[in-house]
Amino acid sequence: MKVLVFLSVLIFVSCGSDETRQNTLTQPPKTLPAYAEKWLSEVGTSADSNLLQLQLAQAYDSIGNYTTALKYIQKLLVKDSGNYGLWYTKAQYSERAGDTVTAIDDYLHAAELYPSADALLGAGNLFAETKNEKALRVSTEILKMRLGSRTDAHAHFIAGVYYARTGNTENAVTALENCIANNYTYMEAYIEKGLLYFDAKNYTKALEVFNFASTVNTLYADNYYYIARCYEMMEKKDSAIAKFEQALSLDANMVEAKQALQRLNK
Protein backbone atom coordinates (compact mmCIF):
# COMPACT_ATOMS: atom_id res chain seq x y z
CA MET A 1 0.00 0.00 0.00
CA LYS A 2 1.30 3.26 -0.96
CA VAL A 3 1.05 5.31 2.00
CA LEU A 4 1.33 8.80 1.99
CA VAL A 5 1.72 11.75 4.73
CA PHE A 6 -1.49 13.68 4.89
CA LEU A 7 -1.03 17.43 5.39
CA SER A 8 -3.88 18.64 3.24
CA VAL A 9 -4.42 22.17 4.54
CA LEU A 10 -4.84 24.55 1.62
CA ILE A 11 -3.08 27.86 2.25
CA PHE A 12 -4.23 30.54 -0.18
CA VAL A 13 -2.08 33.44 0.96
CA SER A 14 0.92 35.26 -0.35
CA CYS A 15 4.39 33.96 0.44
CA GLY A 16 4.79 33.67 4.18
CA SER A 17 1.99 31.63 4.96
CA ASP A 18 2.99 -5.55 -4.84
CA GLU A 19 -0.06 -6.83 -4.50
CA THR A 20 -0.40 -6.12 -0.83
CA ARG A 21 -0.04 -2.37 -1.20
CA GLN A 22 -3.52 -1.67 -2.53
CA ASN A 23 -5.33 1.66 -2.71
CA THR A 24 -8.59 1.44 -0.80
CA LEU A 25 -9.69 5.06 -1.20
CA THR A 26 -13.32 5.69 -2.03
CA GLN A 27 -13.73 6.73 -5.64
CA PRO A 28 -14.72 10.40 -6.09
CA PRO A 29 -17.95 11.42 -7.81
CA LYS A 30 -17.78 12.03 -11.56
CA THR A 31 -19.60 15.34 -11.98
CA LEU A 32 -19.39 18.77 -10.42
CA PRO A 33 -21.91 19.57 -7.68
CA ALA A 34 -24.57 22.14 -8.56
CA TYR A 35 -22.97 24.96 -6.58
CA ALA A 36 -19.72 24.52 -8.54
CA GLU A 37 -21.59 24.62 -11.84
CA LYS A 38 -22.85 28.05 -10.76
CA TRP A 39 -19.26 29.19 -10.20
CA LEU A 40 -18.44 28.23 -13.79
CA SER A 41 -20.98 30.71 -15.09
CA GLU A 42 -19.69 33.45 -12.79
CA VAL A 43 -15.93 33.07 -12.95
CA GLY A 44 -15.42 35.23 -16.03
CA THR A 45 -17.32 38.25 -14.76
CA SER A 46 -17.00 38.17 -10.98
CA ALA A 47 -14.85 40.65 -9.10
CA ASP A 48 -13.84 37.67 -6.97
CA SER A 49 -12.58 35.75 -10.00
CA ASN A 50 -9.43 34.56 -8.21
CA LEU A 51 -11.42 33.10 -5.35
CA LEU A 52 -13.85 31.43 -7.75
CA GLN A 53 -10.98 29.91 -9.72
CA LEU A 54 -9.54 28.51 -6.50
CA GLN A 55 -12.93 27.13 -5.49
CA LEU A 56 -13.36 25.55 -8.91
CA ALA A 57 -9.91 23.98 -8.65
CA GLN A 58 -10.94 22.45 -5.32
CA ALA A 59 -14.24 21.26 -6.79
CA TYR A 60 -12.55 19.56 -9.75
CA ASP A 61 -9.99 18.03 -7.41
CA SER A 62 -12.83 16.60 -5.29
CA ILE A 63 -14.23 14.71 -8.31
CA GLY A 64 -10.84 13.48 -9.45
CA ASN A 65 -10.54 15.78 -12.48
CA TYR A 66 -6.99 16.83 -11.70
CA THR A 67 -6.21 18.07 -15.20
CA THR A 68 -8.86 20.79 -14.98
CA ALA A 69 -8.05 21.53 -11.34
CA LEU A 70 -4.43 22.12 -12.34
CA LYS A 71 -5.47 24.46 -15.16
CA TYR A 72 -7.18 26.76 -12.67
CA ILE A 73 -4.22 26.68 -10.30
CA GLN A 74 -1.85 27.44 -13.17
CA LYS A 75 -3.95 30.47 -14.13
CA LEU A 76 -3.69 31.74 -10.59
CA LEU A 77 0.07 31.19 -10.54
CA VAL A 78 0.46 33.34 -13.66
CA LYS A 79 -0.93 36.22 -11.58
CA ASP A 80 0.85 35.31 -8.33
CA SER A 81 3.93 33.18 -8.97
CA GLY A 82 5.29 33.81 -5.49
CA ASN A 83 2.36 32.27 -3.67
CA TYR A 84 3.51 29.37 -1.48
CA GLY A 85 -0.02 28.04 -1.01
CA LEU A 86 -0.68 27.82 -4.74
CA TRP A 87 2.57 25.94 -5.42
CA TYR A 88 1.83 23.57 -2.55
CA THR A 89 -1.67 22.97 -3.89
CA LYS A 90 -0.35 22.44 -7.42
CA ALA A 91 2.07 19.85 -6.02
CA GLN A 92 -0.78 17.99 -4.32
CA TYR A 93 -2.91 17.96 -7.46
CA SER A 94 0.05 16.85 -9.59
CA GLU A 95 0.72 14.05 -7.13
CA ARG A 96 -2.89 12.90 -7.25
CA ALA A 97 -2.72 13.02 -11.04
CA GLY A 98 0.23 10.62 -10.94
CA ASP A 99 2.77 13.16 -12.17
CA THR A 100 5.45 12.48 -9.58
CA VAL A 101 8.22 14.47 -11.26
CA THR A 102 6.14 17.64 -11.46
CA ALA A 103 4.81 17.15 -7.94
CA ILE A 104 8.32 16.92 -6.49
CA ASP A 105 9.38 20.06 -8.37
CA ASP A 106 6.31 21.91 -7.14
CA TYR A 107 6.82 20.85 -3.51
CA LEU A 108 10.44 21.97 -3.66
CA HIS A 109 9.49 25.27 -5.29
CA ALA A 110 6.97 25.86 -2.50
CA ALA A 111 9.64 25.08 0.08
CA GLU A 112 11.99 27.62 -1.52
CA LEU A 113 9.33 30.30 -1.18
CA TYR A 114 8.56 29.39 2.41
CA PRO A 115 10.52 26.86 4.52
CA SER A 116 7.48 24.79 5.45
CA ALA A 117 7.75 21.25 6.78
CA ASP A 118 4.55 20.42 4.86
CA ALA A 119 6.17 21.02 1.47
CA LEU A 120 9.33 19.16 2.46
CA LEU A 121 7.28 16.24 3.71
CA GLY A 122 5.39 16.12 0.43
CA ALA A 123 8.62 15.96 -1.55
CA GLY A 124 10.15 13.52 0.92
CA ASN A 125 7.28 11.07 0.59
CA LEU A 126 7.65 11.00 -3.17
CA PHE A 127 11.42 10.68 -2.97
CA ALA A 128 10.91 7.69 -0.66
CA GLU A 129 8.34 6.01 -2.88
CA THR A 130 10.59 6.46 -5.94
CA LYS A 131 13.64 5.08 -4.09
CA ASN A 132 15.47 8.39 -4.27
CA GLU A 133 18.04 8.79 -1.51
CA LYS A 134 17.13 12.46 -1.25
CA ALA A 135 14.33 11.16 0.99
CA LEU A 136 16.89 10.67 3.74
CA ARG A 137 18.19 14.23 3.36
CA VAL A 138 14.68 15.60 3.58
CA SER A 139 14.01 13.48 6.66
CA THR A 140 17.16 14.79 8.32
CA GLU A 141 16.35 18.40 7.49
CA ILE A 142 12.86 18.10 8.96
CA LEU A 143 14.20 16.56 12.16
CA LYS A 144 16.61 19.49 12.47
CA MET A 145 13.63 21.86 12.54
CA ARG A 146 12.60 20.42 15.94
CA LEU A 147 8.91 21.02 15.29
CA GLY A 148 7.68 18.39 17.71
CA SER A 149 7.03 14.69 17.93
CA ARG A 150 4.24 14.52 15.37
CA THR A 151 6.36 16.14 12.66
CA ASP A 152 9.33 14.02 13.70
CA ALA A 153 7.12 10.96 13.24
CA HIS A 154 6.47 11.98 9.63
CA ALA A 155 10.20 12.45 9.04
CA HIS A 156 11.04 9.00 10.42
CA PHE A 157 8.22 7.53 8.33
CA ILE A 158 9.77 8.94 5.15
CA ALA A 159 13.07 7.29 6.03
CA GLY A 160 11.28 4.03 6.83
CA VAL A 161 9.48 3.97 3.49
CA TYR A 162 12.71 4.74 1.62
CA TYR A 163 14.56 1.91 3.36
CA ALA A 164 11.62 -0.44 2.79
CA ARG A 165 11.44 0.33 -0.92
CA THR A 166 15.21 -0.12 -1.32
CA GLY A 167 15.29 -3.45 0.49
CA ASN A 168 17.05 -2.33 3.68
CA THR A 169 14.72 -4.10 6.08
CA GLU A 170 16.74 -3.55 9.24
CA ASN A 171 16.96 0.21 8.82
CA ALA A 172 13.33 0.32 7.68
CA VAL A 173 12.14 -1.35 10.87
CA THR A 174 14.25 0.98 13.00
CA ALA A 175 12.93 4.10 11.26
CA LEU A 176 9.31 2.92 11.45
CA GLU A 177 9.70 2.12 15.13
CA ASN A 178 11.10 5.62 15.65
CA CYS A 179 8.02 6.94 13.86
CA ILE A 180 5.72 4.98 16.17
CA ALA A 181 7.71 6.06 19.22
CA ASN A 182 6.93 9.68 18.28
CA ASN A 183 3.30 8.96 17.44
CA TYR A 184 2.00 5.57 18.57
CA THR A 185 -1.25 6.05 16.59
CA TYR A 186 0.60 6.38 13.25
CA MET A 187 -1.23 3.51 11.60
CA GLU A 188 0.57 3.72 8.26
CA ALA A 189 3.83 2.99 10.05
CA TYR A 190 2.40 -0.20 11.55
CA ILE A 191 1.17 -1.24 8.11
CA GLU A 192 4.55 -0.61 6.50
CA LYS A 193 6.32 -2.48 9.29
CA GLY A 194 3.96 -5.43 9.01
CA LEU A 195 4.38 -5.54 5.24
CA LEU A 196 8.14 -5.86 5.62
CA TYR A 197 7.55 -9.20 7.37
CA PHE A 198 4.70 -10.12 5.04
CA ASP A 199 6.84 -9.61 1.95
CA ALA A 200 9.54 -11.75 3.56
CA LYS A 201 6.87 -14.47 4.01
CA ASN A 202 7.19 -14.24 7.78
CA TYR A 203 3.42 -14.25 8.20
CA THR A 204 3.51 -15.00 11.93
CA LYS A 205 5.57 -11.88 12.64
CA ALA A 206 3.48 -9.78 10.24
CA LEU A 207 0.32 -10.97 11.95
CA GLU A 208 1.76 -9.95 15.30
CA VAL A 209 2.33 -6.40 14.04
CA PHE A 210 -1.11 -6.06 12.42
CA ASN A 211 -2.88 -7.52 15.45
CA PHE A 212 -1.14 -5.07 17.76
CA ALA A 213 -2.04 -2.20 15.44
CA SER A 214 -5.69 -3.26 15.65
CA THR A 215 -5.56 -2.72 19.42
CA VAL A 216 -4.20 0.80 18.91
CA ASN A 217 -6.96 1.72 16.49
CA THR A 218 -9.91 -0.65 16.45
CA LEU A 219 -11.61 1.18 13.57
CA TYR A 220 -8.77 1.16 11.02
CA ALA A 221 -10.01 -1.13 8.26
CA ASP A 222 -6.60 -1.78 6.72
CA ASN A 223 -5.43 -3.54 9.88
CA TYR A 224 -8.09 -6.21 9.46
CA TYR A 225 -7.48 -6.48 5.73
CA TYR A 226 -3.82 -7.31 6.32
CA ILE A 227 -4.61 -9.62 9.23
CA ALA A 228 -6.87 -11.44 6.77
CA ARG A 229 -4.11 -11.57 4.15
CA CYS A 230 -1.80 -13.16 6.70
CA TYR A 231 -4.43 -15.79 7.56
CA GLU A 232 -5.00 -16.39 3.86
CA MET A 233 -1.31 -16.99 3.24
CA MET A 234 -1.22 -19.27 6.31
CA GLU A 235 -4.13 -21.21 4.75
CA LYS A 236 -6.49 -20.36 7.61
CA LYS A 237 -9.46 -19.75 5.34
CA ASP A 238 -12.20 -19.26 7.92
CA SER A 239 -10.14 -16.76 9.91
CA ALA A 240 -9.23 -14.91 6.72
CA ILE A 241 -12.87 -14.64 5.65
CA ALA A 242 -13.89 -13.32 9.07
CA LYS A 243 -11.25 -10.59 8.98
CA PHE A 244 -11.98 -9.60 5.38
CA GLU A 245 -15.62 -9.22 6.43
CA GLN A 246 -14.56 -7.13 9.42
CA ALA A 247 -12.52 -4.88 7.14
CA LEU A 248 -15.54 -4.43 4.88
CA SER A 249 -17.76 -3.62 7.83
CA LEU A 250 -15.49 -0.65 8.51
CA ASP A 251 -14.93 0.34 4.88
CA ALA A 252 -17.66 -0.85 2.54
CA ASN A 253 -15.70 0.49 -0.44
CA MET A 254 -12.62 -1.67 0.11
CA VAL A 255 -12.48 -3.34 -3.29
CA GLU A 256 -9.58 -5.63 -2.36
CA ALA A 257 -11.50 -7.15 0.55
CA LYS A 258 -14.52 -7.79 -1.70
CA GLN A 259 -12.28 -9.47 -4.26
CA ALA A 260 -10.64 -11.57 -1.57
CA LEU A 261 -14.00 -12.79 -0.29
CA GLN A 262 -15.04 -13.73 -3.82
CA ARG A 263 -11.77 -15.60 -4.18
CA LEU A 264 -12.11 -17.47 -0.89
CA ASN A 265 -15.81 -18.26 -1.24
CA LYS A 266 -15.49 -20.02 -4.59
d(C-alpha 245, C-alpha 164), whole Å: 29
Question: Sign of torsion, CA 79 83 86 92?
Answer: positive
Give all domains of the chain, ordered by start, each with its CATH number: 33-114 (1.25.40.10), 119-184 (1.25.40), 190-266 (1.25.40.10)
Provide the 3-class DSSP secondary structure of residue 190: helix
pLDDT tens track, the chain, 266 positions: 333 333 333 333 333 334 444 444 444 557 777 766 666 666 655 556 888 889 899 999 999 999 999 999 999 999 999 999 999 999 999 999 999 999 999 999 999 999 889 999 999 999 999 999 999 999 999 999 999 999 999 999 999 999 999 999 999 999 999 999 999 999 999 999 999 999 999 999 999 999 999 999 999 999 999 999 999 999 999 999 999 999 999 999 999 999 999 999 87
- Rounded Cα distance between 87 and 192, Å, is 29
| pTM (whole model) above 0.95 | no
Per-position DSSP letters for 140-179, written without gaps between them = HHHHHT---HHHHHHHHHHHHHHHHHTT-HHHHHHHHHHH
Rg, the chain, Cα only: 20
